[in-house]
Amino acid sequence: MILIRADANEKTGSGHVMRCLSVASAFKAKGETVRFVTADTKSYVLISSKGFDCEVLDTDFSDMEGEINKLTSIVSLYNPSLLIIDSYFVTERYFAELGKLVKTAYVDDLNEKVWDVDFLINYNVFASEYYYSGYENTKTKLLLTPEFAPLRDEFRNQAPHENKDSVTDILVSAGGSDPARISERIISEICPLLPSIRFHFIIGALNPRIDEIKKMEKGNVVLHVNEQHIADLMRVCDIAVSASGSTLYELCACGVPTIVYTLADNQIPAAKLFDKLGIMHNSGDCRFDEKFISNLESCIRKLIVDIDTRTKMSYNMQHLVDGRGAERLAERLLS
């Protein structure tokens, strides 16, 4: 059995659970039993809908040490071969206590410390630029770079993206909860300026303003609430606007020319490096830049008229991510 410890809520978004669900599916395909463990019930429905059992700790997701006793009881009960943890609130004591009972794997986007774990996973584009010498001569096996990006099966081996002369559809993905209200701002401030283009907004299940946003669906605004076929939607779009996060790697697999923006400090390295490598355009940080919307509009307009840049971006994206990262992760972790 594999245990996966992850949370999804309005504050953390759904990315942690979504990428772990991809890994869980890869384990399941190899005949492994997978069970999730979450702090509260906010991600229970999402996890259960994908066919996985879930243990709820009834704890504070931001206080990982406070859950140690409950989690160790679950580990002792199920005796898993591996515990995968995906949270930014881990501590050294947390891993020390759990490591006494089970092999551990940590999904680490931040590289803030050298963690005492058996596997450390960082599939981000910037992972190769991090300084990992602290793990030399330790038991930890490093699984780094986008070849391990844990995407769902629908993103595997996508055909080359077709870039048309005329842009007709733009995808907007603002994350699971969209705390910065970017969806509403684009609907109000950019969509009216480009009436001939359909804007497809992915509205996540954790967005607390779903009912409000639904009232804004008119004209060239198309809402996709709890969309189950994201890859199909991405393929029909000519350009994407996305918050920095796991969605970027899905867009890479589909080859959709993307404009990325950031709304948290930990998202900045990926956005900057994607831009530097010519894989995506970075429109900036929506929290602090008063000209963010105008910058975003400018980026959109430039891509609309520049098919050569869009074609080059698509090529670079699909050569970075092939959608088989979850399968590779499962193989390495099982070995």
**Cα–Cα dist 269/272, whole Å:** 5
| Averaged confidence pLDDT in the chain | 94
**Helices 292-305 & 182-189, crossing angle to 10 degrees?**
60
**Cα–Cα dist 88/101, whole Å:** 21
14 lies in some domain:
yes
Lowest-pLDDT range of 21-25, 130-134, 151-155: 130-134
Lowest-pLDDT range of 78-92, 127-141, 148-162, 289-303: 127-141
Query: Do 127 and 231 sit in the same domain of this protein?
Result: no
Proportion of the chain above pLDDT 90, given as a percent: 85
The token duo for 122 is 């960082």
Residue of higher predicted confidence among 312 and 12: 312
327 lies in some domain:
no
**pLDDT at 11 (0 to 100):** 83
| Listed residue (299, 298, 200) closest to 257, CA to CA | 299
125 lies in some domain:
yes
pLDDT digits (tens, 9 = 90+) for 179-235: 889 999 999 999 999 999 999 999 987 788 999 999 999 999 999 998 889 999 999
Mean pLDDT of 20-42: 97
Query: Do 128 and 160 sit in the same domain of this protein?
Result: no
Pairing of strands 34-38, 53-56: parallel
**pLDDT at 110 (0 to 100):** 86
Residue of higher predicted confidence among 242 and 290: 242
331 lies in some domain:
no
Query: Do 134 and 226 sit in the same domain of this protein?
Result: no
In the listed set 144, 175, 206, which residue is the last one of a domain according to the structure? 144
**Cα–Cα dist 37/71, whole Å:** 8
**pLDDT at 231 (0 to 100):** 96
150 lies in some domain:
no
Query: Do 244 and 189 sit in the same domain of this protein?
Result: yes
**pLDDT at 129 (0 to 100):** 76
Order of strands, sheet of 198-203, starting from the edge strand that comes earlier in the sequence: 221-225, 198-203, 169-173, 239-243, 258-262, 281-285
The type of residue at 196 is S
**pLDDT at 161 (0 to 100):** 97
**Helices 325-334 & 15-29, crossing angle to 10 degrees?**
60
**Cα–Cα dist 56/22, whole Å:** 20
6 lies in some domain:
yes
Q: Number of folded domains in the chain? A: 2
Query: Do 184 and 47 sit in the same domain of this protein?
Result: no
**pLDDT at 206 (0 to 100):** 77
DSSP E strand stretches across the chain: 2-6, 34-38, 53-56, 82-86, 104-107, 119-122, 141-144, 169-173, 198-203, 221-225, 239-243, 258-262, 281-285
Whether pLDDT at 176 is above 80:
no
| Structural domain boundaries, residue 277 | 155-320
pLDDT digits (tens, 9 = 90+) for 89-140: 999 999 999 999 999 999 998 888 999 999 999 999 999 878 888 999 999 9
Q: Which residues have CB under 8 Å from 65's CB, separation 6+?
A: 91, 93, 94
Query: Do 55 and 171 sit in the same domain of this protein?
Result: no
- Helix, strand or coil, per DSSP, at residue 58: coil
In the listed set 144, 173, 197, which residue is the last one of a domain according to the structure? 144
Query: Do 50 and 115 sit in the same domain of this protein?
Result: yes
Residue of higher predicted confidence among 119 and 46: 119
**Cα–Cα dist 264/286, whole Å:** 9
Query: Do 161 and 300 sit in the same domain of this protein?
Result: yes
The token duo for 266 is 């930990």
Proportion of the chain above pLDDT 70, given as a percent: 100
Residue 141's CB: how many other CB atoms inside 10 A? 15
Domain with residue 184: its CATH number is 3.40.50.2000
Mean pLDDT of 231-260: 96
Query: Do 111 and 160 sit in the same domain of this protein?
Result: no
The structure's pTM equals 0.89
| Residue 260: band (very low, low, confident or very high) from pLDDT cuts 50, 70, 90 | very high
**Cα–Cα dist 181/155, whole Å:** 27
**pLDDT at 14 (0 to 100):** 83
| Cβ atoms of 2 and 34 closer than 8 Å | yes
Query: Do 139 and 166 sit in the same domain of this protein?
Result: no
In the listed set 121, 144, 167, which residue is the last one of a domain according to the structure? 144
Q: What is the DSSP letter of 159?
A: P
Domain with residue 31: its CATH number is 3.40.50.11190
325 lies in some domain:
no
Whether pLDDT at 162 is above 80:
yes
Query: Do 315 and 171 sit in the same domain of this protein?
Result: yes
Query: Do 161 and 105 sit in the same domain of this protein?
Result: no
328 lies in some domain:
no
